A and B are shown apart, each in its own frame.
Chain A
Amino acid sequence: MAAISLQNVTKKWGEVTVIKNLSFTVEEGSFLVLLGPSGCGKSTTLRMIAGLEIADGGTIRIMDRDVTHEPPAQRGISMVFQSYALFPHLNVEENILFGLNVRKVAREEKQQRLGEVAKMVGLSALLARKPAQLSGGQRQRVALARAIISRNSICLMDEPLSNLDAKLRHEMRIEIRALQKRLGVTVVYVTHDQAEAMSMADRVILMRDGDIDQIGAPDDLYETPATVFAASFIGTPPMNLLKTVSTTEGTAIAGAEDHPLLVDTGKDFIIGLRPEHISLSASRGVPAILGASDYLGADTILTARIQNQDVLVRVAGHAKVRTGEQVQLNWENENMCVFDAASGRRVEDFRLSRAAA
């Protein structure tokens, strides 16, 4: 059963439509990430699911119930805010128990649930503190605990880790994912950080300008990006996107006309190649000139130039190369993505030119 489903949901701010006919479903117990750059409408979508914004059109269903016009509290969800939204005058315990107090849950049950949850998120020793006396990570845990204690089966998270430093963010990623699995809750998680999306999600919805760009498991998005946008958004560094030109022999990367890759169809394409899928060779391949190299420890990112297009290449270890060196770039054709330059969409039925094949 779908835990959440949106059908043709629309949202306008005045005259501007910020969410256009959005439809998707979230499987029960799954971890869905709404990913996209800022302003793409992912937070608005989340807030409409929460009921903090009211959709101007379409239907939102939670556990098969139409909640489009229900107030937030009736939707059976909990939420973790980017700013944590902790009440500064209440201590940790009071903050966690806020919702249970509103619902007048019996005292023993409250204490029992509090104990459980506090232990789960590691706050047992801090219950009497005020938010101002907590570190960023601890505040994050309070916000999580407040979401968990309600025992709602759906939890919405709006960029919950963006205020933490890199190391903590990494730890919390793992922790949140583990908690979600353990509790079996459905999570809808908003982020602009693709690494977060890739590492946590069961499914990712990549959004762009109020619309869905691509839905899929993280590896689908990584391996078969549906659009140029998806390709450029995911991966560090992202996929190389190279312009093509038509030659008599076929379609080739601009600046590498001698190495036609595709059968010419008269259209312009964009060739997508992940840096780690490219290898350097001294003898055969697309010729390029090496530029800067960026040593990252486990590997090195090399910048190669094909005429005036940069191509990033990931090589293992500390590559010892010289700037200005002439190299040839190689890759497996199965790792090559082809996009229609006009629409930006992925092309599946391209034909490899003979030379490339």
Chain B
Amino acid sequence: MRRVRSITPHVYGWLLLTPAAILLIAFTHYPTVATLVQSVFSKGTAIRPSAFVGLNNYRLLLEDTVFWKVLWNNVLFGIGTIPTSIALAILMAVWVNGKLPARALTRLAFFTPTILPMVAVANIWLFFYTPEIGLLDQIGRVFGFASHNWLGDPDTVLWCIVVMTVWKEAGFFMIFYLAALQSLPPELEEAGRLEGASRWYYFRRVAFPLLMPTTLFVSINAVINSFKLVDQLFILTKGGPDNASSLLLYYIYEVAFSFLDVPYAATLTMVLLSALAIIAVGQFVFMDKRIHYR
């Protein structure tokens, strides 16, 4: 034991790592590579076997108007959900961190969407958005607005999805901000109050900059989620009308499991992977910063 001491940590380290490593390789690294390989083959059927087609799938991708639409939707979806849910999360955290009456109840209300399954609540949101008989239209009618076909109008449908997603996400992010806010020393706020800083000034100049690591962590989560959260589409819109609310991952699902075109789905997945890789690089840069900061 003593004699082989120098070798022990290596053996131990790898032994401990092995179970996790096997699964990670099997379900993260291998499929990533397999996706790349798959994307240069054609769709195979029993009659026509799959064949190597080089970059043909990528060429099709460039010509695929649905792909561009879906990608653009995803960008809009990100722009719509990420800043809004973060801003709301901060606002909620500040509220429930302060002296709010019925604070526990309010916190519960904010957090509840996080623990509700997206597919289950999507049906409830369907009721909100349904024209004529839906809640939005019922309320609108009281104020004399004409009925609007929220999910049937390409100009509003994506924003309906955005609103629902923000609703789902903000409370989750709030928890991170709440934890961060509670770790700020209270004297900082007192020092600010003594100097006559308004709550807004204090927030803008002190709290918000100090929450920056949290904000970066949360925004990366939000960015990932903006590519990942498609559950609601299955119930609310199926990506319609005319792909106006479709997102990249939903399109991948459609291509793979509805059109049974695995190679093209792999090609689309490569786009998604590249997008995530770019974010990953961004995150490493940020992590460096965070270490210096603390």
Closest to A158 in B: B187
> Residue A79 at the B interface, CB < 8 A?
yes
| Residues A89 and B209 in contact, CB atoms below 8 Å apart | yes
Q: Please, which residues of chain B bring their CB within 8 A of the CB of A350? A: none
Q: Please, which residues of chain A bring their CB within 8 A of the CB of B185? A: 83, 85
Q: A89 contacts which of B191, B194, B201, B210 (Cβ < 8 Å)?
A: B210
Q: Please, which residues of chain A bring their CB within 8 A of the CB of B201? A: 102
Q: A102 contacts which of B187, B190, B195, B210 (Cβ < 8 Å)?
A: B195
| Residues B191 and A79 in contact, CB atoms below 8 Å apart | yes
CA distance A102 to B210 in the complex (A): 18
> Residue B196 at the A interface, CB < 8 A?
yes
* Residue with the greatest number of chain B CB neighbours at <10 A, chosen from A50, A72, A103: A72
Closest to B210 in A: A89
CA distance A278 to B293 in the complex (A): 58
B190-224: CB near A (< 8 Å → 1, else 0) gives 11111111000100011001101000000000000
Q: Please, which residues of chain B bring their CB within 8 A of the CB of A87? A: 188, 191, 205-206, 210
| Residues A98 and B193 in contact, CB atoms below 8 Å apart | no
CA distance A300 to B201 in the complex (A): 57
> Residue A52 at the B interface, CB < 8 A?
yes
Closest to B187 in A: A85
> Residue A186 at the B interface, CB < 8 A?
no
> Residue A77 at the B interface, CB < 8 A?
yes
A85-B185, A87-B188, A102-B201 given; A79·B210 CB < 8 A: no
Count of residues in A whose CB is under 8 Å from the partner chain = 24
Q: Decide if the interface of chain B is mainly helix, strand, loop or mixed.
A: helix
CA distance A79 to B196 in the complex (A): 12
Q: Please, which residues of chain B bring their CB within 8 A of the CB of A98? A: 191-192, 195, 197, 205
A22-56: CB near B (< 8 Å → 1, else 0) gives 00000000000000000000000000001110000
CA distance A74 to B205 in the complex (A): 20
B252 CB to closest chain A CB, in angstroms? 41
A64-81: CB near B (< 8 Å → 1, else 0) gives 000000011110011101
CA distance A98 to B188 in the complex (A): 12
A83-B187, A85-B187, A87-B188 given; A77·B210 CB < 8 A: no
> Residue A140 at the B interface, CB < 8 A?
no
| Residues A79 and B188 in contact, CB atoms below 8 Å apart | no
| Residues B210 and A78 in contact, CB atoms below 8 Å apart | no
B128-162: CB near A (< 8 Å → 1, else 0) gives 00000000000000000000000000000000000
Closest to A150 in B: B195
CA distance A77 to B192 in the complex (A): 13
Closest to A80 in B: B191
Closest to B196 in A: A73
A271 CB to closest chain B CB, in angstroms? 44
B99-124: CB near A (< 8 Å → 1, else 0) gives 00000000000000000000000000
A52-B190, A85-B188, A85-B190 given; A99·B195 CB < 8 A: yes
Question: Residues of B with Cβ closer than 8 Å to A?
Answer: 185, 187-188, 190-197, 201, 205-206, 209-210, 212, 293
- 19 example contacts (A-B, Cβ-Cβ < 8 A) are as follows A52-B193, A52-B194, A72-B196, A73-B194, A73-B195, A73-B196, A73-B197, A77-B194, A79-B191, A81-B191, A85-B190, A87-B191, A87-B206, A87-B210, A88-B210, A101-B205, A102-B196, A102-B197, A146-B191
